[in-house]
A and B are shown apart, each in its own frame.
Chain A
Amino acid sequence: MSKSKPNSSFEEQVRQAMKTPDPRPQFIEQMNDILQQRAAQPSRPARRYFGLRPAWAVAIVILIGVIVATLVIGPQRVVAAFRSWLGLADPGLQSVQDAGLVTELKITAQPTLLPTLTATGVPPTAAPLELSQEVSGVTLILDWVYIDEGRLALGWTSNPLPEGLEFGLPQVTLKGVTPLQMQGMSQSFRSAGDQMTYVAYQVIHADEVDGKVSLAIDVPLIQRVDDQQQLVGNYHFEVQDAPVLAGQTLSVQQTYAVRNHGVEVRLKSVRITPSFTEVVACYDFPDQTAPFWYMQHATLQVGNGPEESYRPYEYLREITDDHCVRLGFAVGNAGGEQQLYFRVRQFVVPLTMQDELPAERIAAANLALAPYGIEIKPAPADQSEGPGGWQFVRRPEGNTDPAKDPNLLVLHALEQKLDGLWEFYVEIPTGDLLPGQATATPAIKPTAVGEQSVAGVTISLDWVFADVKRMAFGFTISGLPDNPDALALSGRVEVKDRQGNQVGGEFGGGATIQRLDGQPGTVLGSWSSLLESPLEPGQATFTIDITLDGSQGYDWNNIIGSFPVPAEATPYPPGVLPPVLPDRLVGTFHFEATTTVYPMQVVKLDQAVTANGITLRLVKAEMTPSYAQFTVCYIKPSAKDWMIGGQATLKSGDYEASLFEYGLLLDPEIGPVSKLPGEGEIQPLPGERCVKISFLLGHSAEQAAMTLTIPTLEQSMPEVIPDAEIKAAQEKLKAQGIELDYSTYSAAGGGGGGGPTFTKLPEGMTQAEAYQKFMEALGYVYTGPWVFTISQ
């Protein structure tokens, strides 16, 4: 294919190819006359009294309520109030949160990348020692020691080690001083393990120790038998008054702690030889309800080599105040690499430690198992068909694909796990580190969680949720300027799946945002998107880029979300742009989040409900935890355009959602409008109209049934209503205390419009209620109701 670039000449060709005729001058003039006549009328009849969909009108009222509630209940409960507001504006998201289907993230901490002190730039110098000891025929010489305010380094040599013997990690004790921020250590061995460099990270203030400190150093000599370490002997060195250099001049560094999904992992030590590496890492349990969490998946990458998984794994039971593991990796540093990466990717709760899983775990697993035709139920341990306490209710027969083995699928679905990335960078203390020589400083690879605090503004990704139809996440932004007049959060959100596809397609998603009272500069928000292309059920990883950029001021193309504005607020006059947050370009915050993608249930139905002589058939339901779409067929009251009324609701447990979208599939007067969803999936009866209606509420409430209520069918209002119909309606309404004027107009070539102006209303009746009465009086509303119950 040619790679020619389109130019203005080609654009002109496109214009030619798409050229259309000009409008007739008579038409332009006639239309202009009509507009002038309309403009000359004293008032313009309004065709509708809602600028917003009813659901949004409700949402705005609720937003105002949140502001008031903030003032009343105080900031400590605002988050809960916000969630409550979210639930009313988007019941689907609220229900999945309440059902515990979101993945809590709370990604706030950056990796604690050492050093914490600023390098002085002074070339490091070491104090020569040449202390030696012999244990079991192995002589160990402590060649030098180096200490500054942020680093301690030791250099050793030894005679060749006999087969099976190795040096363990030194234990260094500083006498008369308690070092601060003990943050990991690394030891590297070179040659056949007879040259060693050790680095430990802690803070010592040189002036507090008068520039010197005494050390006690113990180095174990160990023998490895069946992956277990056995102590052969111990070398003990005493170093008096080793100089402590002011500042921090040794540039070697490593990541000590990474917090992701609310779980911190701490890299305590790395011991790397030419042929293997040993890592000791400690971690928080993701939650305290599970009996135990294993560090299930962790890898090591030396230089640009391949990532290797650990072998063996040892939980360090001797450490009682923390959860720590020693991991062995069959990869070392024979090639003189200068850096390595240690990555933790998954924690799991082993099923073998859980005799009886909670019912909600079984229910959640059933959602994931449904696409495979598998269903399970809780069972006592002695009747369980596998670890965890469960039995099959149904499973496919005759499966020969090991990847779809029902037992394995169940175990995978039941396993409580936390996926994420905790990435640690370690500079290997190679021979180049010898103090007195220049040290290389390899570039630090940025990690996803390392970019969450930019220019004083911090974004915390609080939770993420995904199902086949929707993706959403919650966030908290702090450190913004305190500007209560700002109307919008300026910037953009870009969410992509692992394949780089933009979530939400070309239209992307939308965010709702809210200030936190009592916390100036803090914004709480959620972003969600209906998915143009459905996700595959299972696990999915998303990259989320949030760019905060207010450098262009108020720009509709660059708004993440708008703050709720009270209805009574004075609008900004034309041409005056309201302020935005932030008032500058802050930068892009990059996150990576992994979460469960909940499947969609597709249920073919044939429920028929007759009310007021009209039968509505519910023929299909498509439901995810946060979204539901129904196909409804019916024979219209007349040949006109009878739609599902806008008051339709879907109720699931305590949650209720208003009609979100309406789409016409088939109409006897028009024919098929949209492509019918699948050959033979919908079989309309002769003369039926079929429509799709959707709601931002799914089955996450785990109720046995959902209730779809369609109170009315409504006819779209024609451009021109016959005078006789208007008069009849006026007479009907007058008896109810409602009086109105109605004006109409018509346009050349057809079309036109009109609307009522209410001149008298009963006390307490709103314009909206009066408009509904007017529609009913005109006969444009056909009352049901039609109520369907959808069992799951």
Chain B
Amino acid sequence: MTENSSLLGQADTQNGELELIKAARQDAQAFGQLYLLYARPVYRYLYSCLGTVPEAEDATAQTFLAAFESFQRFRQDEHFAAWLFSIARHKAMDAFRRRRLTRSLDDISELPGEDDPLTVVVQSEQIAALASLIRDLPVKESELLRLRFVAELPYAEMAHLLHKKEEAVKKSVYRLLARLQSQLEGSYE
């Protein structure tokens, strides 16, 4: 599998990101550049988790404020994305806990409806079928896809975030995609 060139933190952007981190350490105002770099992927990730615009915006804001507050203690410069998304995951969990009608991370992907981020953008029957398959995945597997294809994290960052080896993450994603593709093909045979 080849890495998508648009993925965050890739070799062509990593040096620039490290420069931004270095600058932010010297001048807190420069943190804004890191925010602008990651605001969209973090928001998309949280929207994919939470499914509503207000909750996604709230969690995004909390993620960046928390990151801003603790940035001076952050030391793993080469893994800024993993660190940021670990905060985002916690904020998503906090949001679930606050919900009166509780839905766990396992449940959220099983909730169809007008607000379902997967259904509002369905453009074809096959995409709809694929979205349905993804909705039915266990939370750990859907999280893999969310980090990879919504947050657009590179495998190295996913591995760091998930405390797994990069090769293991790659294999997991590859096997998951292969299984989804087989299931999709099976449903059209």
Which chain A residues have a beta carbon within 8 Å of chain B's beta carbons?
A: 1-6, 8, 10-11, 13-24, 27-28, 31-32, 34-36, 38-40, 44-47, 51, 492, 506-508, 556-558, 571, 574-575, 641, 664, 669-674, 719, 745, 747-753, 755
Q: Given A4-B185, A17-B127, A27-B57: A669 and B100 within 8 A (CB)?
A: yes
Is there an interface contact between A38 and B47, defined as CB atoms closer than 8 Å? no
Q: Which residues of chain B are within 8 angstroms of A745 by Cβ–Cβ distance?
A: 65
Contact partner of A20 (CB less than 8 A), chosen from B59, B96, B117, is B117
In the bound complex, CA of A753 to CA of B159 (Å): 30
| Complex Cα spacing A304 to B174, Å | 38
A755 to B66, CA, bound (A): 12
Please measure, in the bound complex, the distance between the C-alpha atom of A34 and the C-alpha atom of B63, giving whole angstroms.
13
- B186:A19 contact, CB within 8 angstroms: no
Query: In the complex, A221→B129 CA distance in Å?
Result: 82
Q: Which of A20, A31, A32, A558 contacts B48 (CB 8 A)?
A: A20
- Cα–Cα, bound, A20→B120 (Å): 9
Complex contact B100–A670 (CB within 8 A): yes
Contact of A556 (CB < 8 Å), options: B100, B117, B160, B182: B160
Cβ-defined contact, A556 with B164, below 8 A: no
In contact, A39 and B28 (Cβ under 8 angstroms): yes
By the criterion CB–CB under 8 Å, are B102 and A506 in contact? no
Q: Check A38–B150 contact: CB distance below 8 A.
A: no
Q: How far is the CB of A643 from chain B (nearest CB, A)?
A: 11
* Residue in contact with A719 in the complex, picked from B62, B120, B150, CB distance below 8 Å: B62
CA distance A558 to B79 in the complex (A): 14
Q: Which residues of chain A have C-beta atoms less than 8 A from B126's C-beta?
A: 13
Sample 22 A-B pairs with CB under 8 A, ordered by A number. A2-B186, A11-B4, A14-B145, A16-B130, A17-B122, A17-B130, A18-B118, A18-B149, A20-B117, A21-B117, A23-B44, A36-B32, A44-B72, A507-B163, A557-B165, A574-B25, A670-B100, A673-B96, A751-B58, A753-B62, A753-B65, A753-B66
On chain A, the residues within 8 Å of B182 by CB distance are 1-4
A34 to B28, CA, bound (A): 12
Q: A2-B185, A31-B39, A673-B104 are in contact. Are A20 and B1 (CB under 8 A)?
A: no
Q: Which residue of B lies closest to A38 (CB)?
A: B68
Q: Which of A15, A16, A19, A747 sits near B61, CB closer than 8 Å?
A: A747
**CB <8 Å contact, A749 and B57:** yes
Knowing A6-B1, A507-B163, the reply to whether A672 touches B102 (Cβ < 8 A) is yes
Q: Determine whether B177 belongs to the interface, using a CB cutoff of 8 Å to chain A.
A: yes
Q: In whole Å, how far is B169's beta carbon from the nearest beta carbon of chain A?
A: 9
Q: Which of B65, B117, B140 has a CB less than 8 Å from the CB of A751?
A: B65
Decide yes or no: A1 and B186 within 8 Å by CB, A508-B164, A556-B79 being known contacts. Answer: yes
Question: CB of B8 within 8 A of chain A?
Answer: no
In the complex, A88 Cα to B65 Cα: how many Å?
Answer: 35
**Cα A18 to Cα B122 with chains together (Å):** 9
Contact A751 B61, CB 8 Å, known A11-B4, A44-B69:
yes
CB distance from B87 to the nearest CB of A (A): 12
Quick one: given A2-B185, A13-B126, A673-B97, are A35 and B32 in contact (CB under 8 Å)?
Answer: yes
Q: B178 interface residue, CB < 8 Å from A?
A: yes
In the bound assembly, the distance between CA atoms of A13 and B140 in angstroms comes to: 20
Interface residues of B (CB under 8 A from A): 1-2, 4, 18, 21-22, 25, 27-29, 31-32, 35-36, 39-40, 43-44, 47-48, 53-54, 56-62, 64-66, 68-69, 72-73, 75-79, 96-102, 104, 117-118, 120-123, 126-128, 130-131, 134, 140, 145-146, 149-150, 156, 159-160, 162-166, 168, 172, 174, 177-178, 180-182, 185-186
Bound: A13/B134 CA distance, A: 11
| Closest partner residue, chain A, to B36 (CB atom) | A32
Among A8, A31, A748, which residue has the most Cβ atoms of chain B within 10 A?
A31
Query: Knowing A575-B77, A748-B57 touch, does A18 contact B1 (C-beta < 8 A)?
Result: no
CB distance from A487 to the nearest CB of B (A): 12
The 8 closest A-B pairs by CB, nearest first: A747-B61, A6-B177, A39-B28, A749-B57, A17-B131, A23-B43, A17-B130, A19-B121
Nearest-neighbor residue (CB-CB) of B47 within chain A: A20
Whether B181 lies near A6 (C-beta < 8 A) is yes
* Chain B residues within an 8 Å CB radius of A32: 32, 35-36, 39
Most buried by A among B61, B66, B159, B180: B61
Chain B residues positioned under 8 Å from A15 (CB to CB)? 149-150
Q: Are B104 and A674 in contact (CB under 8 A)?
A: yes
A10 with B97: CB separation less than 8 A: no
Given the known A-B contacts A14-B134, A15-B149, A23-B39, are A35 and B97 also in contact in the complex, defined by CB atoms under 8 Å? no
CB contacts (< 8 Å) of A751 on chain B: these are 58-59, 61-62, 65
Residues on A with beta carbons closer than 8 Å to the beta carbon of B27: 39
* Complex contact B65–A18 (CB within 8 A): no
| Residues on B with beta carbons closer than 8 Å to the beta carbon of A669 | 100
Q: Contacts A16-B121, A673-B102, A751-B61; is A23 near B54 (CB within 8 Å)? A: no
Contact B65 A747 (CB under 8 A): yes
| Contact between A40 and B29, CB atoms less than 8 A apart | yes
| Distance from B57 Cβ to chain A, minimum over Cβ atoms (Å) | 4
Q: How far in angstroms is the closest Cβ of chain B from A176?
A: 62
CB-based nearest B residue for A16: B127
A18 near B146 with CB under 8 A, answer yes
Which chain B residues border A23 with CB–CB below 8 Å?
Answer: 39-40, 43-44, 47, 56-57, 60
Q: In the complex, what residue of chain B is closest to A577 when comparing beta carbons?
A: B78
Chain B: which residue is nearest A41 at the CB level?
B28
Which of A51, A557, A719 makes the CB contact (< 8 A) with B159? A557
Bound CA span A641–B94, Å = 11
Chain B residues lying within 8 Å of A3, measured Cβ to Cβ, are 182
Is the beta-carbon distance between B76 and A17 smaller than 8 angstroms?
no
- Set of chain B residues within 8 Å of A6, measured between Cβ atoms: 1, 174, 177-178, 180-181
CA distance A47 to B68 in the complex (A): 12
| A748 neighbours in B (Cβ, 8 Å) | 57, 61
* Distance (whole angstroms) from the CB of A755 to the closest CB of chain B: 8
In contact, B65 and A664 (Cβ under 8 angstroms):
no
Q: How far, in whole Å, are A38 and B162 apart by their CA atoms in the complex? A: 30
Known: A23-B40, A39-B29, A506-B168. 8 other contacts (CB 8 A): A17-B130, A21-B117, A31-B64, A571-B75, A664-B97, A670-B98, A670-B100, A719-B62
Residues A51 and B4 in contact, CB atoms below 8 Å apart: no
Q: Could you tell me if A51 and B121 are in contact, using CB atoms closer than 8 angstroms?
A: no
- Inter-chain contact B2/A17, CB cutoff 8 Å: no
Question: Quick check: A10 and B62 within 8 Å, CB to CB?
Answer: no
A492–B40 Cα distance when bound, in Å, is 34
Partner of A22 from the list B1, B40, B78, B164 (CB cut-off 8 Å) is B40
Tell me whether A556 and B76 are in contact in the complex, defined as CB-CB below 8 angstroms, given that A35-B31, A507-B164, A747-B62 are known contacts: yes
Report the bound CA distance from A753 to B186 in whole Å: 50
Q: Which residues of A contact B156 (CB under 8 A)?
A: 557
Inter-chain contact A2/B181, CB cutoff 8 Å? yes
**Neighbouring B residues of A8 by C-beta, 8 Å:** 2, 4
Complex Cα gap A673–B146 (Å): 22
Q: Is the CB of A671 within 8 A of B64?
A: no
